[in-house]
């Protein structure tokens, strides 16, 4: 299974609740900010990133985070901001 955090929220579900239904099956997870505008980066938005990462790094047995940021007016800036943001929360 590869859950997409933003699509999950778009569908009205909580990514953490969905992940908890499938312990050990989130070897990869598609992470994308949700609810904070097109220039938002992780951990901005309405996803509980602390819980997502805690589950993934425990019961989820996640090996890879696949980062998506598709609507930026300055894509390379978005990559840099995402990298710096993930670094700040200890995920790089």
5-53 pLDDT, tens digit each: 999 999 999 999 999 999 999 999 999 999 999 899 999 999 999 999 9
What pTM value is reported for the model? 0.91
- In a 13 Å sphere around the CA of 56, the CA atoms on its Cβ side amount to 25
Q: Do residues 44 and 9 make contact, with C-beta atoms less than 8 angstroms apart?
A: no
Length of the chain: 92
Nearest to 23 by CA among 55, 48, 52, 64: 55
Tell the burial category of 90 from Cβ atoms under 10 Å away from its Cβ (0-12, 13-18, 19+): exposed
Domain ranges of the chain: 2-88
């Amino acid at each position: 299974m590869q859950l997409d955090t933003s699509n999950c929220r778009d569908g009205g579900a909580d990514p953490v609740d969905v992940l908890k239904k499938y312990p050990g099956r989130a070897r990869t997870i598609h992470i994308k900010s949700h609810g904070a505008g097109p220039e938002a980066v992780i951990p901005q938005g309405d996803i509980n990133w602390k819980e997502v990462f805690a589950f993934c790094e425990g019961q989820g047995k996640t090996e890879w985070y696949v980062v998506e940021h598709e609507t930026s007016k300055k894509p390379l800036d978005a990559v840099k901001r995402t990298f710096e943001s993930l670094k700040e929360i200890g995920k790089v």
